[in-house]
């Protein structure tokens, strides 16, 4: 079908966006992540599930070097984004985090206007040629965040004046404004009501046409609704990784089964 055998192989296999090999994380003497190996696919939503303290947030933070900000934290092993080692000395963590954006549990808009929340990253990274260009970037990001219609008439009002669900969509819009390739979300809906949660879930589903999304969630229903791949962590180990349907209907490891049936966690 293709003249180029490499291309053929690429099409046949799911495209790997992030590749983690033999990743270990320590906080002082605490061994929080134990030899984790995983390929995170492009244009896929991957859910990280597992009991509290199993290392979901720790591993997620490895993927954009957010652990660099924790003094006692040490990361070992290899993590590649599109084949490039993100822990290479030449990689600027600020640039990396523009490519691998993050959304946190609690919506955290800057104490600035809605417009400036979105414009902040593009300004830092010099993405706009002029004011009209920046206006376009802001509108595009707010549309991508499924919140444009709610805020277009009050772009200069403070972001902190929005409802919790709106603030979270603003934060997602802020993360996409720097044109990331990967979006990391750590329990992005846990502070939201069911309506705001379903809006954010719909948005996550739309985002996967363009980005690789990794979401940590305590809700197995949410993992089943939004993700195509699921990784189950337990005591710092990645116990099982596979298609979400398989993990939830036919888990191979007894620890996964115990967790999804509610016996551990
Ligand atoms: N900043 C830190 N300093 C020291 N130890 C930490 C730190 N952050 C996490 N840990 C430890 O690392 C382990 C994994 O924690 P982590 O926060 O990654 O778990 P989690 O799966 O995200 O849990 P939860 O579901 O409760 O958010 C735990 O033993 C935790 O106590
Ligand atoms: Mg966590």
210-228: per-residue pLDDT in tens? 999 999 999 999 999 999 9
CA–centroid distance, 63 to ligand 2, in Å, is 14
Q: Which tens digits make up the pLDDT trace of 190-211?
A: 888 899 899 999 999 999 999 9
Token pair 């490039």 is at which residue?
Answer: 84
Q: What is the mean pLDDT of residues 159-165?
A: 95
Ligand 1: residues with CB < 6 A are 27, 30, 32, 50, 52-58, 70, 72
User: Domain ranges in the chain?
Assistant: 17-108+181-260
Q: Which tens digits make up the pLDDT trace of 77-114?
A: 999 999 999 999 999 999 999 999 999 999 999 999 99
DSSP code at position 152: T
Spatial separation of the C-alpha atoms in residues 61 and 98, rounded to whole Å: 14
Which residue's alpha carbon is at the smallest distance from atom 4 of ligand 1? 27
Q: What is the pLDDT of residue 6?
A: 56
Which residue's alpha carbon is at the smallest distance from atom 5 of ligand 1? 27
191 burial via Cβ count (<10 Å: 0-12, 13-18, 19+): middle
Q: What is the mean pLDDT of residues 31-44?
A: 98
Contact between residue 9 and residue 177 where contact means Cβ atoms under 8 Å apart: no
Spatial separation of the C-alpha atoms in residues 228 and 221, rounded to whole Å: 13
CA–centroid distance, 56 to ligand 2, in Å, is 6
Which residue's alpha carbon is at the smallest distance from atom 3 of ligand 1? 27
Atom of ligand 1 nearest to the CA of 54: 21
Q: Which helix (H) or strand (E) holds 203?
A: helix 194-207
The pLDDT-based confidence of 14 (bands split at 50, 70, 90) is confident
Residue 184: pLDDT above 80?
yes
Q: Which long-range contacts (CB under 8 A, 24 or more apart) does 131-138 make?
A: 137/177, 138/177
Q: What is the mean pLDDT of residues 4-25?
A: 77
| CB-based neighbours (< 5 A) of ligand 2, an ion | 57
Number of neighbouring beta carbons within 10 Å of residue 155: 18
Spatial separation of the C-alpha atoms in residues 255 and 37, rounded to whole Å: 18
DSSP code at position 123: H
Residue 2: pLDDT above 60?
no
Q: Which tens digits make up the pLDDT trace of 49-81?
A: 999 999 999 999 999 999 999 999 999 999 999
Alpha-carbon separation of residue 86 from 11, 32, 76, 79, 108 (angstroms) = 25, 20, 12, 6, 25
The pLDDT-based confidence of 1 (bands split at 50, 70, 90) is very low
Spatial separation of the C-alpha atoms in residues 81 and 19, rounded to whole Å: 7
Residue 154: pLDDT above 80?
yes
CA–centroid distance, 53 to ligand 1, in Å, is 5
Residue 246: pLDDT above 80?
yes
Spatial separation of the C-alpha atoms in residues 158 and 82, rounded to whole Å: 37
Q: What is the mean pLDDT of residues 146-173?
A: 96
Mean pLDDT of the chain: 93
Q: What is the pLDDT of residue 4?
A: 59
CATH 3.40.50.300 fits 17-108+181-260, yes or no: yes
Alpha-carbon separation of residue 49 from 56, 73, 123 (angstroms) = 7, 22, 35
The preferred substitution site among 23, 25, 30, 236 for testing ligand 1, maximizing ligand atoms within 8 Å of CB, is 30
From the CA of 71, which ligand is nearest?
1
């Amino acid at each position: 079908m293709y003249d180029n055998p490499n291309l053929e192989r690429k099409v046949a296999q799911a495209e790997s966006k992030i590749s983690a090999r033999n990743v270990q994380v320590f906080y002082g003497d605490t061994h929080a992540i134990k030899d984790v190996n995983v390929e995170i696919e492009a244009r896929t939503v991957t859910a990280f599930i597992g009991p509290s303290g199993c290392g979901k947030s720790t591993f997620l933070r490895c993927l954009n070097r957010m652990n660099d900000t924790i003094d006692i934290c040490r990361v070992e092993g290899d993590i590649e984004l599109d084949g490039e080692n993100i822990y290479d000395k030449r990689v600027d963590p600020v640039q990396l985090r523009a490519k691998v954006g993050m959304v946190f549990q609690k919506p955290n808009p800057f104490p600035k206007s809605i417009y400036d929340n979105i414009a902040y990253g593009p300004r830092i990274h010099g993405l706009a040629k002029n004011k009209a260009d920046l206006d376009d970037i802001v509108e595009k990001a707010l549309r991508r965040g499924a919140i444009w219609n709610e805020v277009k008439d009050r772009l200069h009002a403070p972001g902190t004046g929005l409802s919790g669900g709106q603030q979270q969509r603003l934060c997602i819009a802020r993360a996409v404004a720097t044109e990331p390739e990967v979006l990391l979300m750590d329990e992005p809906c846990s502070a939201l009501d069911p309506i705001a949660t379903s809006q954010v879930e719909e948005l996550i589903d739309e985002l996967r046409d363009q980005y690789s999304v990794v979401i940590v969630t305590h809700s197995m229903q949410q993992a089943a609704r939004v993700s195509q791949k699921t990784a189950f962590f337990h005591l710092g180990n990645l116990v099982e990784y596979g298609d979400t349907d398989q993990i939830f209907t036919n888990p191979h490891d007894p620890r996964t089964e115990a967790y999804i049936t509610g016996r551990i966690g």
